[in-house]
Structure 1
Amino acid sequence: MSRPAPAKRQQSPSSATSAEGAWAAKMDRLRRRARPQNTLRICDDDQLRRRFEETEQAARRARFVAEANAGDEQAARQAADAAAAHEDARTALDAASEFLTFRALPRPVLEELIAQHPPTEKQTGEGAIFNSDTFPAALVSAASMDGMSWEEAEELLNTWSAPDANALWEAAWQVQQESRVDLGKD
């Protein structure tokens, strides 16, 4: 014996209009989401980088001591001084650094870019989805918010040391993989 279909709930015209308006507002917010960005810091001054790291650790330790000793004015003062020294080190490091910023490409644009750089037969046999000789410069250029051309990206990838070139590539590639959505699992 078949069951009767459940009765549909009737929505009043005002609740339907309200739901449509809420959806329209939500869809508008979804359309306006900014794509993820990633910034690569380039600084050749090892002393400034070390000073920044040291002051960061010192500020973290001083803050921990101050939090563990609530009411201790000397510990609070030391934490504030360490935080100020860290901020000074950050300012000096920022002034001596160059920054390259990369933005995630819309999915169809990234897929088209990958399609324009198919892997060689050998690379396909190794499981590659793009040509590792041509795609990195194309992606770095396409994702660059600084206006880096393909030729400039290729030059940097080919003339920088392997770790620096890898960092450049990873800055452009990782932002393409960044997800800011949650499947609702708690």
Structure 2
Amino acid sequence: MTRPAPAKRPSPPRAEAPAEGAWAAKMNRLRQRPRPQNKLRICDDTQLRQRVEETEQAAQRARIFAEASPDDEAAAQRAVEAEAAAEQARAELDDASDVLTFLALPRPVFEELIAEHPPTEKQAEEGAVFNPDTFPAALVSAASFDGMSREEAEELLNTWSVPDANDLWEAAWQVQQESRVELGKG
């Protein structure tokens, strides 16, 4: 008994290649993309941070109420005033804060930095990819847009409270993990 030959599937339509000039322009835009960045705000004024949170919540409630009552001019005015108060509180917070900025490193630089801080044998057995005693300060320094030295990063990581030191590390680490592309979209 002979089996029929399998049906040939049609070839998918061939996409038109972009014109060379269009590709060159696209490649130029890809080369010019800014690296992702992450900011860490440091403000020791807990009352001011609390006031910002409260004014932002009040502005959100006023905005929701105004949207639910579109004919209520007084509600609309309260929403405008609440947003202005929140904006003022945010400006005061900005003035009272120090902001550290961290940039994503180019992939080869990041990989080289990891290679420069290999885990100890025990750390590797526990699944570490880098030495958690030396790599954090090196990454914080390397990713610092502000010019923080490795010694300064190490000092802050060692002298700040655990949550603050963790936030410093996370600000530098998270920006290295940020993706701004989408697979299969378009």
Q: Normalising by structure 1, what TM-score?
A: 0.90
Greater mean alpha carbon deviation, residues 148-157 or residues 59-68: 59-68
1:180 and 2:180 equivalent?
yes
Percent of aligned pairs sharing the same letter: 75
In structure 2, how many angstroms separate the alpha carbons of the residues matched to 1:50 and 1:25?
Answer: 48
Match of 2:139 in 1: 139
Per the TM alignment, residue 185 of structure 1 is displaced from its structure 2 partner at its CA by: 4.8
Per the TM alignment, residue 72 of structure 1 is displaced from its structure 2 partner at its CA by: 1.2
Per-residue deviation, residues 143-177 of structure 1 (Å, max 9, x unmatched): 00000000000000000000000000000000000
1:63 and 2:63 equivalent?
yes
Q: Point out where structure 1 has 5 or more consecutive residues left out of the alignment.
A: 10-14
Match of 1:88 in 2: 88
Q: Which runs of 4+ in 1 moved over 4 A?
A: none
Q: Normalising by structure 2, what TM-score?
A: 0.90
Match of 1:114 in 2: 114
1:76 and 2:71 equivalent?
no
In structure 2, how many angstroms separate the alpha carbons of the residues matched to 1:160 and 1:104?
Answer: 23
In structure 2, how many angstroms separate the alpha carbons of the residues matched to 1:19 and 1:122?
Answer: 55
SS of structure 2 residue aligned to 1:102 = strand
In structure 2, how many angstroms separate the alpha carbons of the residues matched to 1:54 and 1:122?
Answer: 47
1:38 and 2:49 equivalent?
no
For 1:106, the aligned partner's letter is: P
Per the TM alignment, residue 79 of structure 1 is displaced from its structure 2 partner at its CA by: 0.4
Q: Once superposed, what is the RMSD of the aligned Cα atoms? A: 2.2
In structure 1, how many angstroms separate the alpha carbons of the residues matched to 2:37 and 2:144?
Answer: 10
In structure 2, how many angstroms separate the alpha carbons of the residues matched to 1:102 and 1:42?
Answer: 14
Match of 1:98 in 2: 98
Match of 1:12 in 2: none
Q: Point out where structure 2 has 5 or more consecutive residues left out of the alignment.
A: none
Per-residue deviation, residues 30-89 of structure 1 (Å, max 9, x unmatched): 010001000000000000000000001011111111111112101100000000000010
SS of structure 2 residue aligned to 1:111 = helix
Per-residue deviation, residues 101-124 of structure 1 (Å, max 9, x unmatched): 000000000000000000011110
Per-residue deviation, residues 116-141 of structure 1 (Å, max 9, x unmatched): 00001111011110000000000000
